[in-house]
Structure 1
Amino acid sequence: MFKTIEETMNWIHQLLPHGIKPGTMRMERVLERLNHPERSLRTIHVGGTNGKGSTVSFLRNIYQKAGFDVGTFTSPYITSFNERISVNGEGISDEDLIKAANIIYPYVKELEGTDLGTPTEFEVVTLIGIVYFAKINFCDLVIFEVGLGGRLDSTNVIAPLVSIITNVGMDHMQYLGNSIQEIAREKAGIIKSGTAVITASDHPDALKVIQETSEEKHAKLYVFGQSFHITDHGGDDEECFDFSSVFSHYSNLTTKMKGFHQLINAATALMAVDYLKTYFALHVEEEHVIQGIKETHWPGRFEILTADPLVILDGAHNPEGMHALAETVERYYKDRTIKVLFASLTDKKNEAMLEEVEKIADELTFTSFDFPRAAKADELYGYSNHPHKIQADDWQHALAGMKRDADENDVILVTGSLYFITEVRQSFNLNKHQ
């Protein structure tokens, strides 16, 4: 059994070589041996290509303002591993992480000699989260973010009060399929019989799949633009908007989460709040909605690291995310000089992402970082037709130079990969402590 956090984390991370094993059979076997702790939880399930983390954060803040103890299970992490399993925004303690790991360890070991095989790292982390929320730090509500896809994801063992599919885009095609329809079927796999579904997906092919799946499962479907709407009032330092649904109307809501896409994420969360208030008596007052939306922030999403020079981090890592980022830059910094530092992974749709980046970039610097699947700077450079592009293998040196040479009209935008954003963000935090 584990006595230290180092032993615990070494065990979790050594499971990585087992890779991705689609399916929930291993999860179900261990949960059965644990007498199904997941059945004691009231949950919300959040899937989709982009916007999952922001939607989870909006939900968490609203319910926390209403006095609920709210658990969240998210991935990947931006600041520390422990934040993936949080209650009221506070990551699981090392002591509780050790305790939860020790609870599941014997049952995980049991599987090693079976046809099902050893659970993956993500499955084990999901099991730790379920045990923590159900047995160690019981919550009024737990919000689970899908890790990959939906149908075969390890989180798809819960029976949620409501399911959310933020949108569907071309990402993780090697696992989910090469068309919007195929990917949508995987995302729609979280839809449960008789359980309502909320979606902001606007791609006709994806929406058709979600509608068909909802009908098959007799699940009530609420679609953005049909069952719930927003009116965008713009803003300077924050966004302002109205929200209306079949259940409610809110005027002049504000959020520091910048970009029209964040208004859609907020609306999706509000639709879920309306639904759960109406059908499950999860009572939330208007003031909780106003404050929850206003105070929501999510690291690495159009996050300003420094104001002079202006350095913005954004974890856009697929074409749809990059399109939303480009729109947000245009929305706020249309008359500024945009200098982009870009790093990505080899298995991403980099050419399609760069088409979006090049629409806003006055200068484009390609770099790389220390990660197994990180693309080389020269590889990314070769994808681009931008007239003002350079490559730099050392991102820290490149960013330091961009900051040194920046004038008051420059905006330095660091983007391309969530893993890259995490590394850059951590370096800034370290610098602040030095």
Structure 2
Amino acid sequence: MIETYEAAVSYIHNRGQFKKIPTLQRMQKLLALLDSPQDKINAIHVAGTNGKGSTVAYLRNLFQAEGKTVGTFTSPFLITFNERISVNGNPISDATILELVNQVKPKADHLDATLAEGGPTEFEIITAMMFVYFAQNPVDVVLIEVGLGGLWDSTNVVKPQVSVITTIGYDHMRILGNTLSEIAQQKAGIIKQTVPVVIGNVSDAAALKVILNTANKNHADSLIFNRDFKVENIKQFNWEEHFNYCSEQLNINDLSTTLLGDYQAQNAATAITAYLVYKQLAHELINTSIIKQGILQTTWPGRFERIHNNPTVVIDGAHNVPAVTELVTTLKKQFNHQKFRIVFAALADKQYQKMIELLLTVPDVEIYLTTFGTPHNRQNADMSKLIDLTHPQVRFIQNWSAALKTAMNHSKNGDLVLVTGSLYFISDVRRAVVK
């Protein structure tokens, strides 16, 4: 029996992260011991390289705007561990975390003692806690974000009402594969028999073909960005993105979102399409005013979020090459008259050199490379060795707080300070700056 919240979180984090052979059998055995809670919830399952979090946030606000109670399962957390399991955007309590751990731990102990490869991993424990919570505390819909990949992800034991694949890009190649087709195969693993799948902006033809082949094999209807739905007339002003949503079923003009970037309009369109499919399956009426309200009310901390004025400081968790590519496009398109000071830190297992090269294509930019307190078993990228290899406007400052202070002190009105890289880094900065 674990007696404190701190001990419960410590127990979770001290579980192993990975096993040698990927399988869902261990997760299925754990849930069977817990009375199969995954079969007692009403879910939408969201995978993808980037855009998962934003798409889940849009979906949550769309359902909330019509008065539904919405559960979410997301990762990683930004401020507190409890954020991973939320109801209407509110994280569950410390007491609930403790209670859930004490329900799951005896079953995990049993598997520790009986399985040759050992019991459940850290993420499997957290996923089981989520399923147990929503089975015991029912909500109208649970939005489940895949942790890593899809096919072997511990969330992939659920049969949802709708599946969503947001994007396909290079990330976690050591685990998911070295080609976009291989990565797409992993993401497409969430597609279930006869469950419709909404596919976001998957621009690589080979990756899209893999997803569609999987959908066809599972007799799952597919709706694809730029074929079955699209966004038009994207414009940005007053820190809002305005766009039109177009599909065969519904056209909505002048939608607004405070999440900036063309890719956020695309994420919103993906979320709207998944929402419409869900509503159709439930035989529920659709209200365009509610859709507009839900999209406008959506916020997602750490995604091009303004956290300070004079100078303007924005944080954005662009933690892989595809995300940095989209971020750079946004900076060039929408902030082309400002000087940029970018504070960047990344984990060692990311393509951080390529990410820095992309950031250097931003006009009138200074980059401050730095480090942060990494989570357990993870390492900072060794930025200090890159200075001579990159650009005269790149500096290394060991302490991220000093790097941010330097960037802010050198900025004038009209300049933009951008803090980006690892989501764990963004979390540290946001916790320190946003009071």
TM-score range relative to shorter protein: over 0.9
2:177 is aligned to 177
Answering whether residue 369 of structure 2 is matched by residue 366 of structure 1, we say yes
SS where residue 156 of structure 1 aligns? helix
Identity %: 40
1:55 is aligned to 55
* Offset of residue 19 of structure 1: 6.4
1:396 is aligned to 401
SS where residue 170 of structure 2 aligns? coil
- CA offset digits 1:364-390 (Å, max 9, x no partner): 1111112132112213435x5223111
Distance in 2 between residues matched to 1:221 and 1:374, nearest whole Å:
40
1:143 is aligned to 143
Distance in 1 between residues matched to 2:423 and 2:20, nearest whole Å:
19
Amino acid at match of 2:179: S
Distance in 2 between residues matched to 1:380 and 1:133, nearest whole Å:
47
Distance in 1 between residues matched to 2:318 and 2:19, nearest whole Å:
24
Distance in 1 between residues matched to 2:419 and 2:162, nearest whole Å:
35
Q: Is the contact between residue 364 and residue 386 of structure 1 (CA under 8 Å) also seen in structure 2?
A: no
* Offset of residue 283 of structure 1: 4.3
Distance in 1 between residues matched to 2:252 and 2:17, nearest whole Å:
48
Answering whether residue 129 of structure 2 is matched by residue 123 of structure 1, we say no
2:195 is aligned to 195
- CA offset digits 1:314-343 (Å, max 9, x no partner): 100111100110111123210100111111
TM-score by length of 2: 0.95
Distance in 1 between residues matched to 2:131 and 2:65, nearest whole Å:
23
* Offset of residue 349 of structure 1: 1.2
- CA offset digits 1:152-191 (Å, max 9, x no partner): 0000000011110001000000100111111110011001
Q: Give structure 2 stretches of 5+ with no counterpart.
A: none
Amino acid at match of 1:183: I
Distance change in 2, residues 1:386/1:273 (3 Å)? same
1:405 is aligned to 410
1:234 is aligned to 235
* Offset of residue 69 of structure 1: 0.8
TM-score by length of 1: 0.96
1:208 is aligned to 209
Distance change in 2, residues 1:380/1:118 (3 Å)? farther
- CA offset digits 1:84-132 (Å, max 9, x no partner): 1001000011111122222212111110022241211111000001111
2:81 is aligned to 81
Answering whether residue 87 of structure 2 is matched by residue 90 of structure 1, we say no
Task: Give me the CA root mean square deviation.
Answer: 1.5
Answering whether residue 381 of structure 2 is matched by residue 375 of structure 1, we say yes
Amino acid at match of 1:74: T
Distance change in 2, residues 1:216/1:164 (3 Å)? same
* Offset of residue 417 of structure 1: 1.1
* Offset of residue 235 of structure 1: 2.3
Amino acid at match of 1:227: D
Q: Is the contact between residue 253 and residue 290 of structure 1 (CA under 8 Å) also seen in structure 2?
A: yes
**In the alignment, which of 416, 428, 431 is matched to residue 426 of structure 1?**
431
Q: Give structure 1 stretches of 5+ with no counterpart.
A: none
Amino acid at match of 2:119: T
Q: Is the contact between residue 242 and residue 252 of structure 1 (CA under 8 Å) also seen in structure 2?
A: yes
Q: Is the contact between residue 363 and residue 389 of structure 1 (CA under 8 Å) also seen in structure 2?
A: yes
Distance in 1 between residues matched to 2:309 and 2:21, nearest whole Å:
44
Amino acid at match of 1:28: Q
* Offset of residue 32 of structure 1: 1.1
Distance change in 2, residues 1:415/1:2 (3 Å)? same
- CA offset digits 1:259-307 (Å, max 9, x no partner): 0000000000000111111122354422221111001010110011111
Q: Is the contact between residue 352 and residue 381 of structure 2 (CA under 8 Å) also seen in structure 1?
A: no
Moved more, 60-69 or 357-366: 357-366
Amino acid at match of 2:216: E
* Offset of residue 14 of structure 1: 1.4
1:288 is aligned to 290
Distance change in 2, residues 1:311/1:19 (3 Å)? farther
Q: Is the contact between residue 19 and residue 117 of structure 2 (CA under 8 Å) also seen in structure 1?
A: no
* Offset of residue 140 of structure 1: 0.8
Distance in 1 between residues matched to 2:116 and 2:67, nearest whole Å:
45
* Offset of residue 249 of structure 1: 1.3
